[in-house]
Structure 1
Amino acid sequence: MMAGDGLLVRVRAPLGRLTVAQAIGLSDAARRHGNGQIDLTNRAALQVRGVTEQSHPALLGQLVALGLTDPDPAREARRNFLLAPDWSAGDDTENIAQSLLARLDDLPDLPPKIGIAIDTGPAPCLTLVPADFRFERSSAGTLLLRAEGHALGTPTTAETAVQDLIALTRWFLATDGATSGRMTRHKAPLPAHPKVAPAAARPIPQLLTQAPGPFHGIPFGRLDADGLTALAGQQGVVALRLTPWRGLILEGGTASPDHAFTDPLLRIDACPGAPACPQASVATRGLATRLAPLVDGSLHVSGCAKGCARPRPADIVLTGNRGRFDLSRKARAGSPPDQASLAPDQILALFGSH
């Protein structure tokens, strides 16, 4: 995808995990073939920024060599799934993911934003992360497959999970799901009557205390190649696990990282804004950084009405509009404003900055 600073190239690490060698190799690729800036997305993918048309083929070649992308674009497009980041070797989350990787050719070609969450820990943790089909655990400990937009799921097992998903995705396409684009917008009756409720969601801080290493927060999900190399080189670290919460789990690490999960900056959603995004008419992250300690609850600062950084509502939303901001409460980006055409200083004053 083209942005203001060049092409964005998305990288989905297998199982949401970068080995130390892969992290160092990705850092080198971002320097050689991009501008050295890397984003961590809200679907736990990475984006190499600043790639040119000329450097793009060499970057893809390096990513294939590192095992970070499939040489077949059609297979890579099907590999749009997200794992709960506290999975362990041999558990249901890893087993279902490995089975899906083995059967990528059996998955149909789905609309590009369709995602699959594999979230089979003791209770779901990815409930608020965008996905269309979800493997989750019920309160009784059984596995279920749930279509987004439906409160209940259908029973499945680790052995039948992938076949059940393939059948559900084929139903989605056969009932004109491609026109809907996303499961939440698809109104066709489900092929099997859902009857199992997922367990109540796990609090993220609880999950992180049980993760295989400390959590390192990344404000706005932006880090540079040198920073990624430094994290991979910390004592004891054997891999970096990607999370959808703007941070990495330093698998095997013991050092206290910067930006704990409670850091106010990690509550803030802000897209790159102008000039990095051609759709944006305002700079976003400088204002978001200043507002972080002043705003209670969630804050979304969006460069335009698309709201790419946060699809769900926030307590306070600032949407760029012709070089100024519209302010909405309990809303999404682009919602009708409560106050319109505000300058950054006016916004800061509203929240008590002097």
Structure 2
Amino acid sequence: MPARPDRDRDDACPGALRLHVADDGALARVRLPGGLLTAHQAAALADAAEALGDGHLDLTSRGNVQVRGLAETCGADLAARLRAAGLLPSDRHDRIRNIAASPLGDGRVQQWVRELDHLLCSGEPDLSGLSGRFLFGLDDGRGDIVALSPDVTLIASADGALLCHGPAGPGLHIADRDAPRAAALAAAGFLAAQRASGTRAWRLRELPAEHRPAPGDLARRLDAAGIPSRPVTVAVAPAPPPGPGVLPGPGGRPALSVAAPLGRLTTAQWRSLAGIADRYGDGGLRVTPWRGVIVPGLAPGADPQPPAALAQEAGLVTSAASAWHGAGACAGRPGCAKALADVRADAAAALASVRPGGPGVLPVYWSGCERRCGHPGGRWVDVLATGEGSYRVTVRDGLREAPSVTVTAAELAGAVAAARTTT
């Protein structure tokens, strides 16, 4: 994305305090750094969605949660509920708490998340000037978070951490204990570069190339803060996200990974997951940037099928063979005024009528308009509403795209199934 020096406004990303008004009511985005939640906090979100919203929780591509259908006058009530649950630690810094972290990592990365979030909220350094789109990525070394192209990336290594602006390139090796503070200082370096560029860049890739922070600049910034570093090459290959099912976890304790159908959960499904975490896991949940939830800490040696069966009974995606695995959609009608179709209803009808997918099937995303809000990265199937009951289906890969086909809603199932298995 090129730099945008002509911007005359801040980004309009919603938060827990700054609500976005949509056609179906106001929308609040609750930041969950690293996707980390306790069962108590999950219950508080369900209570808020039922009492104030439409009874659903939407998962975002940053591992955050959205509540829709809110009355414009409920802001104070919502904020009070979130503060009481520990989900709104700073009013001023609410929207900058965008931290994605490897959800299957051990406690090391999760500790980084907590320390970095504390620094963001403390104002030392003052990072309140970051946009609500700026992303910190904390990768345990497997490459799942690198694939999200963070603006500041920390990667766990055997003897410390690797730090860089962007997902790869020249970077710095630092001690494990310094990693969160160094990441915050790297974000401060971005803000300094933004000011020097004279642009209103929201993300690193929007800065003009000549103004992007260099590793030497970051090393000097860290040295001034008493953080030793040395230059390294950062080159961790992007990796696919964890799929649904029972997966290996640290310490020999498996984890249950589930996906939310089209990225949306009812409060009943959400509470079911919280109950599974309490009964079978360690009492916590991890919301992923791939619109899923992981229940970590299942008992080692215990039968993992009971919790998986409970999740499946709740209507959650528990197998990579499900046609719903890797499928997403924007809000569409009636929630969004720009949408040209009820994409969720059309997507659900198409997915319900095809056979299960399986490994190798491309992700697919339904969009109600050209903005394609929330679409995935990498290679994916773009299903775009064009109006008058038709959709354009295209396989996209970064800036490249395959020839598209235009079909009616009734023809979607076959066209999407064919596109998802394109080689």
TM-score category by the smaller chain?
0.7 to 0.9
Q: How far apart are the structure 1 equivalents of 2:261 and 2:113? A: 28
Determine helix, strand or coil for the equivalent of 1:97: helix
> What aligned pairs does 1:284-323 form with structure 2 within 5 A after superposition?
284-292=343-351, 293=354, 296-312=361-377, 314-323=379-388
Q: How far apart are the structure 1 equivalents of 2:380 and 2:95? A: 34
Q: How far apart are the structure 2 equivalents of 1:213 and 1:199? A: 24
Pair 284,130 (structure 1): closer, same or farther in 2 beyond 3 Å: farther
Letter of the structure 2 residue corresponding to residue 226 of structure 1: A
Conserved 8 A contact 1:299-1:314: no
Q: Residue 118 in 1 paired to residue 120 in 2?
A: no
Name which of structure 1's ranges 304-313 and 200-209 shifts more when overlaid on structure 2.
Answer: 200-209
Q: Residue 230 in 1 paired to residue 272 in 2?
A: yes
Q: How far apart are the structure 2 equivalents of 1:179 and 1:18? A: 33
Q: How far apart are the structure 2 equivalents of 1:350 and 1:26? A: 37
Q: How far apart are the structure 1 equivalents of 2:165 and 2:325? A: 29
Name which of structure 1's ranges 58-67 and 76-85 shifts more when overlaid on structure 2.
Answer: 76-85
Pair 227,14 (structure 1): closer, same or farther in 2 beyond 3 Å: same
Pair 242,133 (structure 1): closer, same or farther in 2 beyond 3 Å: same
Give the TM-score of the pair, scaled to structure 1.
0.86
Question: Deviation of residue 157 (structure 1)?
Answer: 2.1
Conserved 8 A contact 1:5-1:50: yes
Structure 1 counterpart of 2:261: 219
Structure 1 counterpart of 2:92: 74
Q: Residue 157 in 1 paired to residue 194 in 2?
A: no
Tell me the alpha carbon deviations over residues 121-156 of structure 1, each in whole angstroms, 9 at most, x when there is no partner: 243321233521110135x65411122264343222
Pair 155,272 (structure 1): closer, same or farther in 2 beyond 3 Å: same
Structure 2 counterpart of 1:242: 287
Q: How far apart are the structure 2 equivalents of 1:97 and 1:103? A: 10
Aligned equivalent of 2:203, options 174, 182, 195: 182
> What aligned pairs does 1:261-340 form with structure 2 within 5 A after superposition?
261-262=319-320, 263-292=322-351, 293=354, 296-312=361-377, 314-323=379-388, 324-330=390-396, 338-340=404-406
Determine helix, strand or coil for the equivalent of 1:179: coil
Determine helix, strand or coil for the equivalent of 1:233: helix
Letter of the structure 2 residue corresponding to residue 94 of structure 1: Q
Question: Deviation of residue 302 (structure 1)?
Answer: 0.7
Structure 2 counterpart of 1:95: 111
Conserved 8 A contact 1:80-1:114: yes
Name which of structure 1's ranges 237-246 and 161-170 shifts more when overlaid on structure 2.
Answer: 161-170
Conserved 8 A contact 1:107-1:166: no
Q: Which runs of 5+ in 2 are unaligned?
A: 1-19, 217-230, 299-303, 419-423
Letter of the structure 2 residue corresponding to residue 192 of structure 1: P
Q: How far apart are the structure 1 equivalents of 2:67 and 2:200? A: 30
Conserved 8 A contact 1:44-1:242: yes
Letter of the structure 2 residue corresponding to residue 273 of structure 1: G
Tell me the alpha carbon deviations over residues 173-199 of structure 1, each in whole angstroms, 9 at most, x when there is no partner: 222276222112222243315632243
Q: How far apart are the structure 1 equivalents of 2:350 and 2:66? A: 26
Percent identity, aligned pairs only, is 25
Q: How far apart are the structure 1 equivalents of 2:36 and 2:189? A: 31
Determine helix, strand or coil for the equivalent of 1:180: coil
Conserved 8 A contact 2:96-2:134: no
Pair 331,276 (structure 1): closer, same or farther in 2 beyond 3 Å: farther
Tell me the alpha carbon deviations over residues 305-342 of structure 1, each in whole angstroms, 9 at most, x when there is no partner: 11112153544212122343223232579x897345x4
Conserved 8 A contact 1:273-1:281: yes
Pair 154,208 (structure 1): closer, same or farther in 2 beyond 3 Å: farther
Conserved 8 A contact 2:332-2:341: yes
Aligned equivalent of 1:6, options 20, 25, 28: 25
Pair 230,309 (structure 1): closer, same or farther in 2 beyond 3 Å: same
Conserved 8 A contact 2:263-2:329: no
Q: How far apart are the structure 1 equivalents of 2:192 and 2:130? A: 11
Structure 2 counterpart of 1:191: 214
Q: Which runs of 5+ in 1 are unaligned?
A: none
Q: How far apart are the structure 2 equivalents of 1:349 and 1:75? A: 46
Conserved 8 A contact 1:17-1:239: yes
Tell me the alpha carbon deviations over residues 33-84 of structure 1, each in whole angstroms, 9 at most, x when there is no partner: 11111111111111111111122210110010011112x3222223221222
Q: How far apart are the structure 1 equivalents of 2:36 and 2:54? A: 23
Q: How far apart are the structure 2 equivalents of 1:124 and 1:332? A: 18
Pair 313,349 (structure 1): closer, same or farther in 2 beyond 3 Å: same
Letter of the structure 1 residue corresponding to residue 232 of structure 2: K
Q: How far apart are the structure 2 equivalents of 1:313 and 1:199? A: 16
Q: Residue 210 in 1 paired to residue 249 in 2?
A: yes
Determine helix, strand or coil for the equivalent of 2:173: strand
